[in-house]
Chain A
């Protein structure tokens, strides 16, 4: 009786065609598909150091058992409940429990067949080792199958129809592929990728900061040098002016003296002022401009200088310019330079 029931149920299953094909061949197809990809037989960081065939063989075990437990089992048994097959059996001397037992027996056999095919195919085609800790593998397989078939039976017990059984099974199927790690593997890979990218960005940022700090220090040194140079030149001019004024002073300049002939006054002014200007211009402002790398502005400054009405003419009109004419050019430099230096240049103005 039991043999006949088992045989008939097997025949019915075989008539479904697609169902046994999916369970037995889908894991195998995945193994072959991924196993024959170029470079698949190298250990891969993403797969936890496994090769693709190793990973797919293990995954295939899970897929076969999950399809059986969450799809085929609830669909078939909910269909039997819907059709009243179990109730009809309840009116015969054979308890419907036998039908459930036979069903489970067939599914266990199918799972074993699928796993055996996977192991053998992976071993022969890709040299994947047979699970090394075989008792542990067996225990995991049996426990996993028990859990999934248990869920399948619960679905079959509550689903009102075959279609509802399929639907509920599918509803659980996809989250469970996440729970067994398929989804987490993907997430973990993405997480790692993002971390890698962040680390890269950090490194390049650090390099950039270092470079920046070097540049800053160099700028500081240059600014200080420029300041010192400027101060020296200013002092030299002061000394020069003082000496020049000392030489050109006459007793007639004193109070109550006769004014000098106009010509002598002009000669005195020419001796001091224009020279000061010449000293000042290339040595101070333009030099600083050049050091800042403002090459384009320097010739322009010369040009402007040349076009301006000469200081002699201004002298003739009796106008003494209190501020040096290059203040405008100097300003950017004084803004960039460190404070003590800029103070000193201001005082010279």
Chain B
């Protein structure tokens, strides 16, 4: 049984439809990604899941609870880190974590949580003086301080430098390893590909696909691409005659060959037979980016 079950969710603000029709299910213990460009309806979807907004249609069930009707119970089991959520600038890290711990019946230990999140040195620093990455870590701490079974993290790494982003990713994996189911909302392809067990791609208020990152990639184009610089002139037809090869293109001194599985082996054996050495040999597989373009018809960002 999924811990979060969203079916045909629909939400509009006045005449503007934010979420047209969204359905997905999140299984216990996984990191589930909600990926889509800005304005696709990701945040509205998670706000409906968190019970902050009433939906205009469809059903949402979180741990068997209705997010609107059973809000009090839901808030005890669901930790939420909202997009661009800040704290008063003059509140200290420890004060914030202890305050939010006091909101729950059985909270996590604030001191240990601060240490786990690498904020031990900043425990007496005011929120306004923390770096962006540290502020995000405080936000995660507040989402986890109630010892929730599910954590919803919205746009966690937006605005962070690459190092802080990588630190945050490691942190989220640690949290998952503690048995917390995580819903990660993001518009970073790399983040989704690296962290998520499964993904829902949302575009213009609709779910385009739900699958694992690799499943999404292979679904759209099981294509491989080999790029190399031959040491001696090479006739195109030698490659084109191979059953695995689909296209051969030349750009400058480079040859790019595309085809299906086993392409690399076929190409290298032809080259060996003709005593040609392939310099700068590279094999490229389709990425989630390509999958996204194929699924939505336009690139992310």
Contacts and interface: CB of A to CB of B under 8 A. Distances in A.
A-B pairs with the 3 shortest C-beta distances? A91-B80, A83-B86, A84-B85
Given A87-B52, A91-B52, A79 B88 contact: yes
Contacts of B50: 91
Interface string A90-118: 11111000000000000000000000000
A1 B105 CA distance: 10
A5 interface: yes
A76 to B, nearest CB: 9
A92 B75 contact: yes
Q: Secondary structure at chain B's binding surface: helix, strand, loop or mixed?
A: loop
30 contacts: A1-B103, A5-B99, A5-B102, A8-B91, A11-B95, A12-B88, A12-B90, A12-B91, A16-B90, A79-B88, A80-B88, A83-B85, A83-B87, A84-B84, A84-B85, A84-B86, A87-B82, A87-B85, A88-B85, A88-B142, A90-B52, A91-B52, A91-B80, A91-B82, A92-B75, A92-B146, A93-B72, A93-B75, A93-B104, A94-B103
A134 to B, nearest CB: 38
Given A8-B91, A8-B95, A87-B52, A92 B103 contact: yes
Given A1-B103, A8-B99, A93 B76 contact: yes
A4 interface: yes
B49 to A, nearest CB: 11
B123 to A, nearest CB: 15
Interface string B91-122: 10001001110111100000000000000000
A161 B52 CA distance: 21
A87 B154 CA distance: 13
A15 interface: yes
A91 B88 contact: no
B9 interface: no
Given A92-B103, A92-B104, A93-B105, 17 more contacts: A5-B99, A8-B91, A8-B99, A83-B87, A83-B88, A84-B82, A84-B85, A84-B86, A85-B85, A87-B52, A87-B82, A88-B87, A91-B52, A91-B78, A91-B79, A91-B82, A92-B146
Interface of B: 50, 52, 72, 75-76, 78-80, 82, 84-88, 90-91, 95, 98-100, 102-105, 142-143, 146
Contacts of B52: 87, 90-91
A253 to B, nearest CB: 131
A127 to B, nearest CB: 41
A87 B88 CA distance: 13
A194 B75 CA distance: 68
Contacts of A79: 88
A61 to B, nearest CB: 29
Nearest to B47: A87
B100 A92 contact: yes
A84 B80 CA distance: 12
Nearest to A94: B103
A93 B75 CA distance: 5
Given A8-B95, A84-B82, A87-B52, A93 B103 contact: yes
Contacts of A4: 98-99, 102
Interface string A193-214: 0000000000000000000000
Contacts of A93: 72, 75-76, 103-105, 146
Contacts of A5: 99, 102
A90 B84 CA distance: 15
Contact of A85 (B72, B75, B86, B143): B86
Interface string A64-98: 00000000000000011001110111111110000
B144 to A, nearest CB: 12
B99 A88 contact: no
